[in-house]
Amino acid sequence: MLYLTLVVCFLVTIFITPLVKRFSFIIGAIDYPNKRKNHQSVMSRLGGLAIYISFTTGIIIMKPENQSSFAIIISSLIIVITGFLDDIFELSARHKLIGQLAAACTVVFLGDLQVEFINLPFGGKLQFGLLSIPITILWIVGITNAINLIDGLDGLAAGVSSIALITISGMAILQGNLYVLTVGLILLASTLGFLIYNFHPAKIFMGDTGALFLGFIISVLSLLGFKNVTFISFVIPVIILAVPISDTFFAILRRIIQKKPLGAPDKQHLHHCMLRMGYTHQQTVLLIYAMSAFFALVAVIYSQARIGGALVLITLIVLFIEIIAEKIGLVGRNYRPILNILQTIRTSTAKK
C-alpha cells in the first residue's frame, strides 16, 4: 500500500504542478527578476502548493496514526497559508514569523510535541522543564527558516530537503518508527515530483509556500524521530540538516558583525559565495547536494558511534564547517579566525 501511495504522490505532483503554475499567474503569485534574483524572466512562485496537495493526498490514502497526527495536519495548513499569502502579497518578516509561531505552537500544544530532556553522554539527564516548550518552538521555527533561506537557486531547497527526508526515513527504519517513515516518504515522493519542474532551468519556483512547508515538516519529523533520547541521537538531525543550519547560523553571525538587521536580505549565502567563486548555477546546486549527502552519511555513521567517537566526530564536523565557511567567505572576506591560527602555526613551524 505504501509503495502504491508513493507512486500516486509522485504522479499527483507531476500532473498538478502545471495547473498550479497557471493558477499562480491568475492570482499574481509571481516572481519578477531583479538584481538580487538569479532568474531572468517572470516565474510562478507557488509550486509549493503542488507539493502540499500531493502530500495531503498521500496522508489521506495512508492515514498514518500518531498522537500528533491531527496537530500536524492543522499546523501544516497554517504554515502553508502563511507561505501562500507571502507568495501573493510579500508579507513582512514579522507577519511571516507570526504565522510560523502559530504553526509551531499548534503542533507543540495540540500534538504534545516537546523535547523534555536529553540523556547526557557520561550519565545523568538534562531536564529542560519549563524551557522544553520554547526550545521545541525555537527548533521548529529555526529549521523552517533554514530551509526557506537556502531556497535561492533552482532545485536547491527541494534537493536538500529530499536528501534530508531520505536520511530521516532511513533512520526511522533503523528505529522501527513507522509513522516518521511513512510521512517522510510521502513528502519525499511529493517533492521529487516537483523537482522535475524545479531543477535548473526551473519552470516554476516552490516559493515560501513550499520552502516553509518543507522546513516545517522536516523539523517536526526530526523531533518525532529523535526526541527524548540520548545526546548522540539529539544531535543526529542537526548533522542531517548541517548545510541549511550552518548557512543560517553564519548569516546571523554575518549580520551581527556587519551590524545589519537579522532579517536584512543579502547575497552572501552559501550558494551566492559559490557562484562568485566561478561555479555555474547547476554546479553550485550539485555541489551543495553533495555536501548534504556527505553530512547525511556522517549522521548515519555518528548514530552508530560510541560516546567518545561521537564527540570526536562532532568536533571534526564543527571545524570542517568553520574552515569551509572561512574559505569561501560566508561571513566576510576578513573573517578567518581558524585559518589565521593555522597560518600562524604553519609559519612558526617553517621558521623552526
38 with 281: CB under 8 angstroms? yes
- Contacts (Cβ under 8 Å, ≥6 apart) of 171: 225, 226, 236, 299, 300, 303
Q: How many residues does the chain have?
A: 352
Strands 43-44 and 30-31, by their bridges, are: antiparallel
Q: Is position 31 annotated in a ligand binding site?
A: no
Q: Is position 148 annotated in a ligand binding site?
A: yes
As a whole number of angstroms, the distance between CA 114 and CA 34 comes to 41
Q: Which of 146, 142, 156 is nearest to 290 (CA)?
A: 156
Consecutive H or E run containing 342? helix 337-351
Which long-range contacts does 78-82 make (Cβ < 8 Å, 24+ apart)?
78/102, 78/103, 78/106, 79/103, 79/144, 79/212, 79/213, 79/216, 80/48, 80/49, 80/52, 80/209, 80/212, 80/213, 82/208, 82/212
Instruction: State the alpha helices, DSSP H only, in 47-121.
Output: 48-62, 69-89, 93-105
Question: Rg of the chain's alpha carbons, rounded to an integer?
Answer: 20
Burial of 344 by CB count in 10 Å (0-12 exposed, 13-18 middle, 19+ buried)? exposed
Cell of 163: 536528501
Annotated binding-site positions for Mg(2+):
148, 208
Annotated binding-site positions:
148, 208
